[in-house]
Structure 1
Amino acid sequence: MRKRYLLSQATVTPESSFRAFEIFTARNDREKMLIDVLDLREQMLLYHLFEDVRGVSLHVRFSEIAYQRFKDNYKFVTMLRDPVKRFVSHYHWSYGKPQAHARIEDDFETFLESPRAKRIGATYVEYLCGLPKDVPTDSDEAVSAAISNLGKFSVVGDISDTRSFEQDIRKELGVRVKIKHENKGSKASRSRSELENPEWRAKIESLCAPDIAVWKAANAVQGGRDAQ
C-alpha cells in the first residue's frame, strides 16, 4: 500500500510512537503507557489526514472523530486474522526482545494468566470499539461497538485470503496491490505446538472470546458484501 501511494504516504510505527510518548511524558509505567499511547497515535492519524496525506497506515484505535470528519475523502481499511492464531503469534513476536517497547518477558504458560494476555485476547475490540479507554474491552458494550464499527470500513481483509483482499482493495481504491508474506519461520511451528496443548488452547479461546465475536461478525459482513 505504501508503494501505491509513494508520493503521499505516512506510516506511524508502534515502536517510535511509543518512544516519543515515553520521552515526552517521562513516564515509566510501561503497561499503562501501552494503552495511553493510543491517544497519541490517533492524534497523529488526524494530523496526517488534515495534511491530506493520501495513504496513512498505523496501529490505531478506530477514531470516530476521523471517520466523521474524513469519511467523504478517505476509505478505511483493515486486515484481521483468526484471533487464536493471532494471539499466539503476538506472543512470539513480542517474547525475547528485551529492548522492544511491547516486550513480553513471561514464558507462555505464565503469560496466559497475566492481565496483558487478557488485553491481547481483546485486541480487535480495543482497536475497533472507539469507546473511552476506561470501558473494559471484554464488556458487551465494547464488543457490540466494535462489531458496529466494522460496517464503517470499506474493506475488512482476512490474512488467510490475501487474494480476496487484493481484489477488494482494487475495487474500492482503484489500485493494484500484491501481498507478500514476511516474518515466517520457526515461530510458526512453535505456535502450532502450543495450540495442540488442549489446556492452553482452551485458555486462549477463553481469553480471545471478545475477539472471536468480532472475527465472526467480520466474516459475516464480508460474506454479505460478497453476495451483493
Structure 2
Amino acid sequence: MNLQSISDKAKKLLVLNKPHIFFMRIPKTGSTSIDLAISRHYPANSYEIDSLKSLQATEAMHYGENIDFNQCLQLREALAAYAMSKDIKYISGHVPYLKALAEAHQEKYVYVTLLRDPVKRLISKYFFNFQKSDNHCSIDISLSEYLDSEKGIQSGCEYIKYLKGISKANSYSLESEISIAKNNLSKFNVVGTLENLEKFVSDFYGKTGIQLKIPHKNAREGANAKPQLDKTTLKNIESVCRPDIELYEYLTHIKG
C-alpha cells in the first residue's frame, strides 16, 4: 500500500461519523468563508457546485444563445441531486431550494443556509461585480441605473428566488412567493445571519457537533471602495429589497 492510499483512507476515516450537510449558498451573504470552514472538516468527501463552470456549461448546452438564468439553476439542482445520490457527505453551491430533493433526503442531510441584511447584500453585490475584469455577472452601469434595471430589481428578491425554488417560476404572485420562501426556510436545520455569526456557529455545532473556525475570504469584496451613499439612494435600495427584507425580518424574528 503506497502513501497516497494510506492518506486517502485516513481522510475517509476522518469523515466517517460526521453528518451529511447541504449548504445552500446565497450570493454575497458571507457564504464563501462559511463554506471554507465547513469543507475543512470533509477533506475527502465534499463537492462544491462551481458557479462559473455551471453557467459556462449551461451556455455551451445552448450553443451560446442567451439563456434564462433559471436554466443554469436547474443544472445546479441536477448536480446537487446527483451528488446526494452518490452519498457525498458535504455539498455546497449557489443552488436553489428544491422541495422534492429536500424531502427525499431530509432524513440524511442537514440543510444549512445563511442570510445577510438585504440592503448590505445588494450594495456588496453591486460593488463586487461593478466593472469586473471577467464577464461573469459583471455590472457596467451606475448604481442608480442598476436599481431601475431588471437585474437590479431581481437582486432585491434574491432570497425569495433561492428559497421558493424555480419550479413554476411565473405561476405565483410576489406575496405567494414570499409565503412559500418563508415556509421553505422553516425547513432548514441550521439557518443564521451574517450579522450574528456567533449564534450561527453555535447552532451549527448544536446540530452537527462540528466547531467552525471561520476565516475571512473573498478579498475582492473590499477591493472597490464603497462610497458613502446618500439617503435617497439608500431609500431606493430599501424599496428594491423590500421582498428580501420581509424574509430577513421574518428570520430574525423567529430565530433572534
Same structural fold, with TM-score higher than 0.5 when normalized by the shorter chain: yes
Q: Please report how far the alpha carbon of residue 133 of structure 1 lies from its aligned counterpart in structure 2 after TM superposition.
A: 5.0
- Relative distance call for 1:137 and 1:222 in structure 2 (3 A) is farther
Query: Is the contact made by 2:48 and 2:93 (CA closer than 8 Å) also made in structure 1?
Result: yes
Paired residues of 1:112 and 1:203 also in contact (CA < 8 A): yes
Q: Is the radius of gyration larger for structure 1 or structure 2?
A: 2
Aligned partner of 2:211 in structure 1 is 176
2:252 aligned residue: 219
User: How far did residue 136 of structure 1 move?
Assistant: 7.3
Q: Shift of the alpha carbon at 1:138?
A: 7.1
Match among 47, 53, 60 for residue 10 of structure 1: 47
Partners of 1:13 and 1:186 in 2: CA distance: 22
In 2, Cα distance between the equivalents of 1:98 and 1:104?
10
Q: Which amino acid aligns with 1:210?
A: P
Q: Does 1:155 align with 2:190?
A: yes
> 1:199 deviation in Å?
1.4
Give structure 2 stretches of 5+ with no counterpart: 1-37
Aligned-pair identity in percent equals 28
Closer, same or farther in 2 for the Cα pair 1:102/1:137, shift >3 Å? farther
Q: CA separation in 2, counterparts of 1:114 and 1:186?
A: 24
How far apart in 1 are the matches of 2:240 and 2:130? 18
1:201-228 residue CA offsets vs partner (Å, 9 max, x unmatched):
11111110000010011112213xxxxx
Take 2:73 and 2:59, find their aligned partners in 1: how far apart are those partners?
A: 12
> Match for residue 48 of structure 1?
83
Corresponding residue of 1:190: 226
* Residue type at the aligned position of 1:118: I
Counterpart contact for 2:73–2:96, Cα < 8 Å: yes
> 2:245 is matched by which residue type in structure 1?
I
Higher relative CO (Cα under 8 Å, sequence separation at least 6) belongs to 2
Residue 62, structure 1, aligned to residue 97, structure 2: yes
- Aligned position for 1:111: 146
Show structure 1 runs of 4+ deviating over 4 A. none
Pairing 1:36–2:68 present: no
* 1:75-94 alignment, distance < 5 Å: 75-94=110-129
The Cα shift of 1:163 comes to 1.7
Report the Cα offset of residue 23 of structure 1.
1.1
The CA RMSD measured in Å over matched residues stands at: 1.7
Find the counterpart in structure 1 of residue 63 from structure 2.
26
Change (3 A) 1:7 1:13: same
Supply the AA of the counterpart residue of 2:131.
Answer: G
TM-score (norm 1): 0.89
Q: Is 1:210 aligned to 2:246, yes or no?
A: no
Q: Does structure 1 retain, via aligned residues, the 8 Å contact 2:96–2:166?
A: no
The answer as to 2:161 corresponding to 1:123 is no
The number of aligned residues is 217
User: 1:148-171: per-residue Cα shift (whole Å, max 9, x none)?
Assistant: 111110111211222211111111
* Superposition deviation, residue 110 in structure 1: 1.3
